[in-house]
Structure 1
Amino acid sequence: MNGTLPRIVLAAQPSAGFDYELIVAPANVNIVPGGSTPALSFNGGYPSPVIRAKQHQPVRIRVVNQLNEPTTIHWHGMRIPIGMDGVPFLSQTPIMPGEAFDYEFTPPDAGTFWYHPHMNSVEQLGKGLVGALIVEEAEKPDFDEDLVLCMKNWHINDDGSFTALTTPQNAFRMGTPGRVMTINGQTSPTYEVPAGGAIRVRFLNVDNTVVYMVNSTDPDAQIIAIDGNPIAQAVTLKQHPMAPGMRLDLGVIAPSKVGETITFKHKNNPLVTLTTVASHLENRSLPKLPLNPIPAPDLDNAETVKFAFEWNANITPIKKDGKVSYNFWAMNRRSWEGMSKGHIPAPLATLERGKTYIFELSNLTQYHHPIHIHGHTFTVLHSNKKDIIPFHSDTVLLGKNEIVTAALVADNPGRWMYHCHIIEHLKTGFMSYIEVT
């Protein structure tokens, strides 16, 4: 990395030659009946536009900031160059009000990903700046329906006005819960699917806080991909935890009779229902997804790096303006100091490019923490709490007192954000970065 940040361009310039343009601006949206919510939006509404890219083909996206504050866009789960990662000051200068930024990258991996700002995250994500990024396989599998389902628990009252997005009492626990659980901005929606069809169901947890426990009324529903990465052998869905930032692709064969249903739930709460409509499909089977080209870790020559995630019990400091500076969480006894132009703290760890590392992730708290790394993909190897068949993931969910080992090949140079994806934890200490030299 040479320290040069990508250029900012003015929003007034023409947008010809771009695959997508995202206008970031306030907008009133309808989430609850009869109520209007003063949200922040991409292109004037919610759900946000689904961006569809193609594996191994470049995609160009112009982001225009019409907020009254800076923003950036991070492409969650993507192994792309550092200059396109969307972290303010670390990888790009913030997109100021009235400016635009051109993102261009070539996805090496196919699957289910998403996009969101990495500035003022509690508010910008909490008020609606979240969207799905689907990278289609170089050779597209033959599904009869492909559903993209963004899970978001809105912090709103019955009239649509916002409740508190965060409170200190909740930030040092599991985060502040919302009141209205939605799929694509609707409460328990129903989608029509062809009877007897092979259906791909993509769940994306774009919430700030909630850990969903996904299950299905279909006993034959199959897990086919985790966090955008196909698994070598499909696994029958029983109940799968999905923390903020995580994705889950399921495959189902729809019932053959018209009017029959499959319901997916969070615990016992219905999330979304599929209902069958007439089709001529018969004897369908689930297509097999091609594996992504994740570099294989060299475990025999790997170096182990230990990370302890724990509660910060220090006395909460008071800033010069008299306001409380809440820092509840620490990684290796260090709470994130924040960063700004000209002030980038030291990395939490420095990795040698091309070398394999085993991250030992130790959760020393009583709460769940989804640990997300930018620009790389983990190969999750082992847990002291549950049996694991190794799989690829960019967001590793750690349970209470759980220790997970996960390997990665440090093949992408740059300064990569590394944090808990419960947004209130991120904002109160659980964030740092890894430098690959």
Structure 2
Amino acid sequence: MSVGAARAFPAWATSGTGGAAAKGAVLSGDLIQLNVAQGHFGVGGKSRHAISVNGSVPAPLIRLKEGQNVRIAVTNHLREDTSIHWHGLLVPFQMDGVPGVSFPGIGPGETFTYEFPVRQAGSYWYHSHSGMQEAMGLYGPIIIDPAADDPVSHDREHVIVLADWSPVHPHMLLKRLKQMGGYYNMQRQTMAGLLAGRDQSLKERIDWGGMRMDPTDISDISAAAYRYLVNGHGPDENWTGLFAPGERVRLRIINASAMTNFNVRLPGLPMTVVQCDGQDVQPVETDEFQIGIAETYDVIVQPEKAAAYALIAEAIDRSGLVRATLAPRPGMVAPIPPLRPRPLLGMKDMGMDMSGMNHGEGHAMRMTMRDPSVAPQVDMGAGVATLSPMPVDRTGERPTGLEEVDHRVLTYADLKSLTPNADHRAPSRSIDIHLTANMERYMWSFDGVKLSDGADPIPFRHGERVRVTLINDTMMPHPIHLHGHFFELEIGQGVHNPRKHTVNVLPGGKVSFHLTADALGDWAFHCHMLMHMHSGMMRVVTVRHAEDGA
């Protein structure tokens, strides 16, 4: 089968589309049928086995209405179990689609019918929670229209699904990472970089080498293995969405990648962020934002000229990018900017903000970082190489790689919910959760314990209000997702703190959020970097009535 013959796009993902509402672009109604089956997918001249939904990769767009009840029948035509998780949707836990947590999974030849009320509006997505099927093509967008008037006025909309794709099977990618954590890092520092003054000084290299740290280790898997996609199209294929000059165009941007955080911009065209993780926010204009894996951002752009504009999604390690185009007619192209210099991690990314310290204090800090006695509440086994001695709240800081760009960059601190949050209670208790790893051995965990090693569930009482603090003891950002709930980031906006289901915790940073445990059941809680989750960075959250016990 040729690469060209292997491609099958759903209508919403076809290049040159007039918008996501185009006739035939969606699955909707009270009963929807999804068929999961073997397929192929090719990009950049290489094709391999994929998993398709209704014959296509990416999967069909599902469009629902807030307030409706929906039944989605999923039939498994594979020779292995499958599942679908409705990412960000508030559903009964039995319908959440996580094998071993909320249901057994869907066996070969079986049909499972998900049935749930649609309790919200916004931009979401769905994906497999079985094996690594998500990385093999089983992902697609969900749009839910509000029951009342949409607070976001727009003339046209496009769904923009970002993804990464490799001709190498994801299990092989993971095997290589376990053999050598930096297997796909082709951007290490060189002697030429040292002499040219582009990289760390010799002393800095010696200090970092003594701690067995690599300041270029930003993404586990880079463009050395991945092609980056917009709606299933590679950068050379130039996916194009149409507009008429002067229109307010809504872009529903979803990061469905397995392992890639992206920096997103449209050179020459400002973006107004109006929604994050499906939740309306007070409009805020920016020129670039970082979208963590599994996050969604809705933005409004208003191109006045009949010109082509490039939509650029650059991997945060700057090893590669994917572009799409907004244009008044098909065939137009906009200049593709060159890749920007790759960033280097610093002391703050290790949880060691050295500003104001003398040399002796800094030396002591490096030593305690490797001393298991500094944090006895965390299991310092072989799976934990470091703990951040001075983690700081970085929600107001520009994210990795965007610290020095000369235009506006969105931070979490810029986000305010459009309407006041429903629960104004102060939390009755607080818990800390450490994001831990031995990156050299490619071991990932929460609080030093992998899920497969018998990690205890994290218990909540139904209806209680809890302050949760995530502390990143690693040198990578982690997009942490809690199923079945939204939480409010603690960023000083009071009742307008933004509501999210996924939060990207910067290296050496910490993020606090307030959670109302209002959804009974067992819920997955994990890093959404697929290979981190599969390597142990996952727990189960239980929500029980007080009288039901632990």
Is the 2:269–2:303 contact (alpha carbons within 8 Å) kept by the matching residues of 1?
Answer: no
Is the 2:483–2:501 contact (alpha carbons within 8 Å) kept by the matching residues of 1?
Answer: yes
- State the partner residue of 1:13: none
Q: CA deviation at 1:117?
A: 1.1
Q: CA deviation at 1:293?
A: 8.9
Deviations along 1:154-191, whole A, 9 cap, x unmatched? 1127xxx9894423234897433342111011124221
Q: CA deviation at 1:403?
A: 0.8
The whole-number CA distance in structure 2 between the counterparts of 1:131 and 1:68 is 21
Task: Mark the CA change 1:170 to 1:292 in structure 2 (over 3 Å): closer, same or farther.
Answer: farther
- State the partner residue of 1:176: 221
Is the 1:263–1:270 contact (alpha carbons within 8 Å) kept by the matching residues of 2?
Answer: no
Deviations along 1:366-386, whole A, 9 cap, x unmatched? 111111000001101139xxx
The whole-number CA distance in structure 2 between the counterparts of 1:223 and 1:352 is 35
The letter for the 1-side match of 2:325 is: T
- 1:91-106 equivalences under 5 Å are 91-106=102-117
The whole-number CA distance in structure 1 between the counterparts of 2:478 and 2:424 is 24
Length-normalised TM-score, structure 2: 0.64
Q: 2:484 aligns with which of 357, 360, 375?
A: 375
- State the partner residue of 1:20: 32
SS at match of 1:126: helix
Q: 2:510 aligns with which of 399, 403, 407?
A: 403
> What is the identity percentage for the equivalent residue pairs of Structure 1 and Structure 2?
28
- State the partner residue of 1:261: 308
Is the 1:213–1:240 contact (alpha carbons within 8 Å) kept by the matching residues of 2?
Answer: yes
The letter for the 2-side match of 1:215 is: R
- State the partner residue of 1:352: 461
Is the 2:72–2:115 contact (alpha carbons within 8 Å) kept by the matching residues of 1?
Answer: yes
The letter for the 1-side match of 2:300 is: G
Task: Mark the CA change 1:52 to 1:265 in structure 2 (over 3 Å): closer, same or farther.
Answer: same
Which structure 1 residue ranges, 5 or more long, are not aligned?
1-16, 279-288, 317-326, 339-344, 384-388
1:329 is the counterpart of 2:444: yes
Q: Does 188-197 or 145-154 show the bigger shift? A: 188-197
Task: Mark the CA change 1:185 to 1:297 in structure 2 (over 3 Å): closer, same or farther.
Answer: same
- State the partner residue of 1:274: 326
- 1:215-364 equivalences under 5 Å are 215-231=265-281, 233-255=282-304, 257-258=305-306, 260-267=307-314, 269=321, 271-276=323-328, 295-299=422-426, 301-312=427-438, 328-337=443-452, 347-364=456-473
Deviations along 1:371-424, whole A, 9 cap, x unmatched? 1000001101139xxxxx831111110111101101111000011100000000
Q: Does 132-141 or 354-363 show the bigger shift? A: 132-141
Task: Mark the CA change 1:79 to 1:18 in structure 2 (over 3 Å): closer, same or farther.
Answer: closer
The whole-number CA distance in structure 1 between the counterparts of 2:43 and 2:303 is 29
1:127 is the counterpart of 2:136: yes
The whole-number CA distance in structure 2 between the counterparts of 1:292 and 1:81 is 25
Deviations along 1:273-295, whole A, 9 cap, x unmatched? 101259xxxxxxxxxx9958964
The letter for the 2-side match of 1:175 is: D
Task: Mark the CA change 1:128 to 1:353 in structure 2 (over 3 Å): closer, same or farther.
Answer: same
Is the 1:336–1:432 contact (alpha carbons within 8 Å) kept by the matching residues of 2?
Answer: yes
The whole-number CA distance in structure 2 between the counterparts of 1:111 and 1:23 is 24
Task: Mark the CA change 1:332 to 1:295 in structure 2 (over 3 Å): closer, same or farther.
Answer: farther
- State the partner residue of 1:212: 262
The letter for the 1-side match of 2:258 is: N
- State the partner residue of 2:234: 187
The whole-number CA distance in structure 2 between the counterparts of 1:179 and 1:118 is 21
SS at match of 1:125: helix
- State the partner residue of 1:426: 533
- State the partner residue of 1:392: 499
Task: Mark the CA change 1:362 to 1:290 in structure 2 (over 3 Å): closer, same or farther.
Answer: closer
SS at match of 2:113: strand
Q: CA deviation at 1:266?
A: 2.5
The whole-number CA distance in structure 1 between the counterparts of 2:247 and 2:433 is 45
Q: 2:70 aligns with which of 37, 50, 59?
A: 59
Q: CA deviation at 1:74?
A: 0.5
Q: CA deviation at 1:218?
A: 3.8
More helix by share: 2
The whole-number CA distance in structure 1 between the counterparts of 2:325 and 2:157 is 14
Q: CA deviation at 1:151?
A: 0.5
Q: CA deviation at 1:430?
A: 0.1
The whole-number CA distance in structure 2 between the counterparts of 1:88 and 1:144 is 40
Q: CA deviation at 1:263?
A: 2.1
The whole-number CA distance in structure 2 between the counterparts of 1:265 and 1:313 is 29
Larger RCO of the pair (alpha carbons < 8 Å, separation 6+): 1
Task: Mark the CA change 1:308 to 1:290 in structure 2 (over 3 Å): closer, same or farther.
Answer: closer
Q: Does 416-425 or 213-222 show the bigger shift? A: 213-222
Q: How many residues align?
A: 379
The whole-number CA distance in structure 1 between the counterparts of 2:488 and 2:115 is 27
The whole-number CA distance in structure 2 between the counterparts of 1:67 and 1:297 is 47
Is the 1:112–1:228 contact (alpha carbons within 8 Å) kept by the matching residues of 2?
Answer: yes
Q: Does 148-157 or 267-276 show the bigger shift? A: 267-276
The letter for the 2-side match of 1:184 is: N
Structure 1 consecutive aligned stretches of length 4 or more whose deviation exceeds 6 Å: none
Which structure 2 residue ranges, 5 or more long, are not aligned?
1-28, 184-216, 331-415, 545-550
Task: Mark the CA change 1:65 to 1:365 in structure 2 (over 3 Å): closer, same or farther.
Answer: same
RMSD of equivalent CA atoms: 2.7
Q: CA deviation at 1:346?
A: 6.2
- State the partner residue of 2:160: 149
Is the 1:18–1:62 contact (alpha carbons within 8 Å) kept by the matching residues of 2?
Answer: no
The letter for the 1-side match of 2:448 is: R
Q: CA deviation at 1:60?
A: 1.3
The whole-number CA distance in structure 2 between the counterparts of 1:295 and 1:170 is 44
Q: 1:200 aligns with which of 234, 241, 250?
A: 250
Task: Mark the CA change 1:295 to 1:97 in structure 2 (over 3 Å): closer, same or farther.
Answer: farther
SS at match of 2:491: strand
Length-normalised TM-score, structure 1: 0.80
Task: Mark the CA change 1:291 to 1:225 in structure 2 (over 3 Å): closer, same or farther.
Answer: same
The whole-number CA distance in structure 1 between the counterparts of 2:421 and 2:51 is 35
Q: 1:46 aligns with which of 40, 48, 57?
A: 57
- State the partner residue of 2:523: 416
Task: Mark the CA change 1:201 to 1:227 in structure 2 (over 3 Å): closer, same or farther.
Answer: same
